[in-house]
Structure 1
């Protein structure tokens, strides 16, 4: 805390930035939770997408108010598509390692209920499949990566003071929240596995995602596309 010329105390720039980051973080997380919980009694299918769309609108406004954009958090057009695709494959491999290892632990603690009946209507239903594909590449990959990795990790790290230690804590918090977001239809077994997937994406976000988050969006979208395609075809994934 510093003193102004008239003797009144003022916030230092560092403290002001941390308080602003905390305010914006609380705003986006609150939208994610409140919108989703408000809609769950009515619709399990669209509660998540509605909450991420709402949070994207709020997050975009908050970034704009600070003179920033999603491009400052990693949403860049790739300079090299071969490199981006290579990083996408590496991300997918690490995701599989993390989720399969966590599945071994989760199997010891909780029953695996899959995705309950949330997507049961997709099997053999082309219209429902095409609609879910639209959600996969908006809510399920684009929005979730920008919110849970770019926005939440960056703002949590800034609240904690920045640096590697703050990044690691932010990564863990973001991963736990990401897993919790999926517990309502996957159970706690699925929440642990999904949280491990969020951890995998978060590690790669800290590595290269702040410069180019596209590999994470592509990897997330491919996994979701495969899962929903298997359901449409009646194949156990």
Structure 2
């Protein structure tokens, strides 16, 4: 009975906070399209933090574990390397599948990417603004919500179901990809979903430790924004 109650609560939380994040993004979209995603995510996290506090549950239970010793902090780096390997495999597999299946849309930069980030090139203040967003709303925010909250609650929801871990990684990854499709198109949906699967799998392999994933997410997006600033290439950051 208790297990059924926990699964029902997990389903309620997934639907409730998923709908809140999507609804806020839609509401903010006409006001500030470029920043609707980050602002809606931060607002959702604020509501989630209040909810977790009422349940006497902290972010440590969702993956932001306390790194109390020097050894635990140093171990973040080799674990981050493992996360990067997962990330690289996901990107390589996506590119390979695109070639084999003839997905020509994967070779076209969506118009939304240019509209959102096209003026970063040569604009240092704008670069610094986006880097700030990368390390708050993207690296920390998305990982806390998508991996820390959605994956954890999905594990509860699918408890006892065959391949529960697979579903618990796949469902949040699909939501992660869908959340980027509004400006990255089908290419973003496919690529970001694959990255979401890689990050979700790494989250479970690392026993729900978010810190290495946050680090890799932030570094990858930061590199992409610096290349945009330098005019080297037009790539879409993860977040």
Seen in structure 2, the aligned counterparts of structure 1 residues 61 and 106 have a Cα distance that, compared at 3 Å, is farther
Seen in structure 2, the aligned counterparts of structure 1 residues 190 and 104 have a Cα distance that, compared at 3 Å, is farther
Seen in structure 2, the aligned counterparts of structure 1 residues 209 and 184 have a Cα distance that, compared at 3 Å, is farther
TM-score for both structures, normalised by structure 2: 0.88
Unaligned runs of 5+ in 2: none
Give the distance between the partners of 2:205 and 2:55, measured in 1 at CA.
Answer: 25
TM-score for both structures, normalised by structure 1: 0.89
| Equivalence for 1:187 | 185
Give the distance between the partners of 1:162 and 1:172, measured in 2 at CA.
Answer: 16
| Equivalence for 1:109 | 103
Cα deviation for residue 26 of structure 1 reads 1.5
1:214 pairs with 2:193: no
Give the distance between the partners of 1:31 and 1:50, measured in 2 at CA.
Answer: 12
| Equivalence for 1:6 | none
Cα deviation for residue 40 of structure 1 reads 2.1
| Equivalence for 1:204 | 202
Unaligned runs of 5+ in 1: 1-11
1:235 pairs with 2:232: yes
Corresponding residue pairs, total: 225
What is the RMSD of the two structures over their aligned residues, measured on CA atoms? 1.7
Seen in structure 2, the aligned counterparts of structure 1 residues 182 and 106 have a Cα distance that, compared at 3 Å, is farther
Seen in structure 2, the aligned counterparts of structure 1 residues 110 and 154 have a Cα distance that, compared at 3 Å, is farther
Most deviating of 61-70 and 155-164: 155-164
Deviant stretches of 4+, over 6 Å: none
1:42 pairs with 2:51: no
1:51 pairs with 2:40: yes
Give the distance between the partners of 1:68 and 1:62, measured in 2 at CA.
Answer: 9
